[in-house]
Homo-oligomer: A and B are copies of this chain.
């Protein structure tokens, strides 16, 4: 297998982009990444595209050639392939792009992710998001993603004494970070009393525990590490790309306070890269619901099981804490949640951090970053370890 590097990164602003179409935002992100990598379209070998539900959201399947075409690259007849795994679609597309370059069949590949969640009503958008849970065992009985994560939160509180205030702190942290991110959907700071006092969505989760439904796109350019310096002074090596899955329905899992897919994907990634959680300085984790951040920090190996709440509340994962610093982008809560774009946007943020280009969000001395992208309630987990090549 060849070593694979990230040569460039780009993204749109996340938010309610009512004035811009799916194809427009896909192109902006992709071309942004190509300009950043100083790669011309003549050098491209293929495109991967992460997207959850364009069929349901904008009545358009088969979107990978569409985006390529509208980017003005249709006449080159490049391979263009869509990958889907709910909220993990972006990171899965990155995994496929990584394999394409690692195999030697492709050299330069653009991996993008996009979703247009706000072209439908909030209710319809929420239903479509819930199609990433088990339709026959969960959704037909009325379960939605927040209600399922709400059950996980209740059980986590019961088993480990996790406090409501502790996971509320995740949202406060995310908005603090996102306030410094010009691409973020929400750039306002919020307070603990605001999170605790927000209207309930699925108790104990309230409005401010839940990431929004957003529009947005993000992209990176991949290539073989051995030629990366032709394109960039700071190639970022993909030290590991690992995917793991679990049962879709919560009741079929071994337990619900651990997401085994996260545990497996992280352990495999650290083993392959010969690194440990303590080697990571900066991490983007999947905080679609505040409780998910705590569960993920435990399952990724950053804190022991059950200790996520107090450790998070202690400020350990904040800027300047013992680390790793988490969700400097603002995470899904503040930067936003365009499902298929999330996993790529996480990597865009890590690229900026590892290059030292994250401005007032910068984590000093960041050498190893981790991206953690989940689908549904964790039936898919993807972990990428990214390393600055000095």
In contact, B74 and A81 (Cβ under 8 angstroms): no
B-facing residues in A75-96 (Cβ within 8 Å):
75, 77-86, 92, 95-96
In contact, B61 and A132 (Cβ under 8 angstroms): yes
A interface size (C-beta, 8 A)? 65
Cα–Cα, bound, A104→B4 (Å): 14
Cα–Cα, bound, A75→B77 (Å): 40
Q: Which residue on B lies nearest to A104, using beta carbons?
A: B1
Cα–Cα, bound, A386→B139 (Å): 42
* A284 within 8 A of partner (CB): no
In contact, A55 and B131 (Cβ under 8 angstroms): yes
In contact, A61 and B52 (Cβ under 8 angstroms): yes
B-facing residues in A334-390 (Cβ within 8 Å):
375-376, 379-380
* A194 within 8 A of partner (CB): no
Q: Which of A208-216, A243-251, A287-295 contacts B (4 or more CB under 8 A)?
A: A243-251
B-facing residues in A218-267 (Cβ within 8 Å):
242-248, 252, 254, 260-261, 264-265
List chain B residues, Cβ under 8 A from A61. 52-53, 56, 84, 86, 128, 131-132
The listed residue (B53, B85, B134, B136) touching A64 by CB distance below 8 A is B85
* A102 within 8 A of partner (CB): yes
Query: What's the minimum C-beta distance from A259 to chain B, rounded to whole angstroms?
Result: 10
Cα–Cα, bound, A128→B53 (Å): 13
List chain B residues, Cβ under 8 A from A86. 61-62
Cα–Cα, bound, A135→B380 (Å): 30
* A60 within 8 A of partner (CB): yes
The listed residue (B59, B65, B82, B103) touching A248 by CB distance below 8 A is B65
In contact, A74 and B245 (Cβ under 8 angstroms): yes
* A107 within 8 A of partner (CB): no
With A53-B61, A252-B69 as given contacts, are A81 and B77 in contact (CB-CB < 8 Å)?
A: no
Cα–Cα, bound, A380→B82 (Å): 11
In contact, A84 and B85 (Cβ under 8 angstroms): no
List chain B residues, Cβ under 8 A from A134. 60, 66
* A42 within 8 A of partner (CB): no
* A205 within 8 A of partner (CB): no
With A61-B131, A131-B61, A379-B65 as given contacts, are A82 and B81 in contact (CB-CB < 8 Å)?
A: no
The proximity string for A residues 292-317 relative to B, scoring 1 for CB distances below 8 Å and 0 otherwise, is: 00000000000000000000000000
List chain B residues, Cβ under 8 A from A261. 65, 77
List chain B residues, Cβ under 8 A from A136. 21, 23
Cα–Cα, bound, A100→B83 (Å): 14
* A201 within 8 A of partner (CB): no
The 4 closest A-B pairs by CB, nearest first: A79-B243, A65-B245, A62-B86, A103-B103
What are 21 A-B interface contacts by the 8 Å CB criterion?
Answer: A1-B104, A1-B105, A23-B136, A52-B55, A59-B131, A60-B135, A61-B86, A61-B128, A64-B85, A64-B245, A65-B247, A68-B245, A69-B248, A69-B379, A74-B245, A74-B252, A75-B254, A77-B244, A80-B85, A81-B85, A83-B83
A-side residues, CB < 8 A to B, are 1, 21, 23, 46, 52-53, 55-56, 58-62, 64-66, 68-69, 74-75, 77-86, 92, 95-96, 99-100, 102-105, 127-128, 131-136, 139, 242-248, 252, 254, 260-261, 264-265, 375-376, 379-380
Sample of 13 further A-B pairs with CB below 8 A, known A55-B131, A78-B244, A96-B99 = A62-B133, A62-B376, A62-B380, A65-B85, A65-B261, A66-B379, A69-B247, A77-B244, A77-B246, A79-B95, A79-B242, A80-B245, A81-B83
